[in-house]
Amino acid sequence: MLTFTHIRTKLSGRLPSPSPSLLHLPAGLPAGPGDPASVGRERASTFLPSPVPHPLSSPQAGRIPRAEHAISLQGAAAATGKMQKHNQKEHLYKLLVIGDLGVGKTSIIKRYVHQNFSPHYRATIGVDFALKVLNWDAETVVRLQLWDIAGQERFGNMTRVYYREAMGAFIVFDVTRPATFEAVTKWKEDLDSKLVLPNGKPVPAVLLANKCDQGIDVLMNNGIKMDQFCKENGFVGWFETSAKENININEASRCLVKHIIASESDPVQSVEPDIIKPHLNSSKIVSCSSCFKS
């Protein structure tokens, strides 16, 4: 009859002798291939996680992480943009906005510079100023200094001071008030008598027929007459405009700036105390007809 002692003896004969504990292996001593410690080490290695490769030995070493790579590209793009801006040419032009009282000069400037319109009228006292920056092309930045001159100033003696060093002008009239159109020639004469080019020609001026949203039919059949009027009075072009509806204001500005850029050669310089003569190269004057509305 088998007893527990016999069973234990038979089983113990079949089991291999236990391996020495790895913890008792002296550090630094190599184990032979048949050494029990070596066998124990191989068995133990199956339960240990794979070693993490050193960053310098990893096949990914030396590669820039994607996020850092994107940041480096953004930094390079920003640096390139700064270099391009540094190489851009900058022009500063003083532009006059003149015309009778209440024709909408201030509203045109606010629409052009701030992209807003207020129906509430507030008369300008003396002169007001605004600045507009244009990215004209990849190589040119144009800064416009807009002088909003009060309508009643034509009857005073300050326009000579206000006109000084201006490179161009907008003359504005209200299409719903014929008297303001009749005053256009007086404003143009006042401008030309105080601000001319070295060759005696007037500075570039664009005529703005403002509030066209209220008087749609006023100029519908008078396009040819307006072209003739502008040529006779020395305007480089004319536009129907509306500050309320934002009609043709940007186009009119580009027309005027185009003529100034095409004719510019030297900075503005006062030659005589009474007449300001911007130094321009008349050989580069562009065609006026491109700015005329038909």
Residue spans per domain, the chain: 89-265
**89: confidence class by pLDDT, cuts 50, 70, 90:** confident
Across the chain, mean pLDDT equals 74
Indicate yes or no: pTM above 0.75.
Answer: no
44 band by pLDDT with thresholds 50, 70 and 90:
very low
Tell me, what's the pLDDT at 88?
80
Instruction: Give the model's pLDDT for residue 262.
Output: 80
Tokens at 24, concatenated: 């008792």
Cα–Cα distance measured from residue 195 to residue 202, given in angstroms and rounded to the nearest whole number: 7
CATH class of 89-265: alpha beta
Q: What is the mean pLDDT of residues 226-252?
A: 95
Q: What is the pLDDT of residue 202?
A: 83
* C-alpha–C-alpha distance, residues 229 and 215, integer Å: 19
Band of pLDDT at residue 80, cut at 50, 70 and 90: low
For 257-268, how does the pLDDT look when each residue is reduced to its tens digit (9 = 90+)? 999 988 775 444
Of 16-25, 86-95, 210-219, 243-252, which range is least confident? Answer: 16-25
| pLDDT tens-place string over residues 151-192 | 887 777 788 899 999 999 999 999 999 999 999 999 999 999
Mean pLDDT, residues 9-25 taken together: 50
Angle formed by the axes of helices 105-114 and 249-263, to 10°?
80
Residue 76 clears pLDDT 70, i.e. is over it? no
Degrees (nearest 5) of the Cα angle 286, 204, 259?
Answer: 30
Q: What are the φ and ψ backbone dihedral angles of 208, each rounded to 5 degrees?
A: -115, 115
**pLDDT for res 254:** 95
Pairwise CA distance, residues 68 & 289, whole Å: 54
In one-letter notation, the amino acid at residue 53 is: P
Give the residue from 62, 277, 264, 251 showing the smallest Cα distance to 164: 277
pLDDT at 71: 53
DSSP of the chain: ---HHHHHHHHHHHSPPPPPPGGGSPTT----TT-HHHHHHHHHHTTSPPPPPPTTTSTTTTPPPHHHHHHHHHHHHHHHHHHHHHH-EEEEEEEEEEESTTSSHHHHHHHHHHS---SS--PPPSEEEEEEEEEEETTEEEEEEEEEE-GGGGGSS-HHHHHTT--EEEEEEETT-HHHHHTHHHHHHHHHTTBB-TTSPBPPEEEEEE-TTT-TTTSTT-HHHHHHHHHHTT-SEEEE-BTTTTBSHHHHHHHHHHHHHHHEEEEEEE-SSSSEEEEE-GGGPPPSGGG---
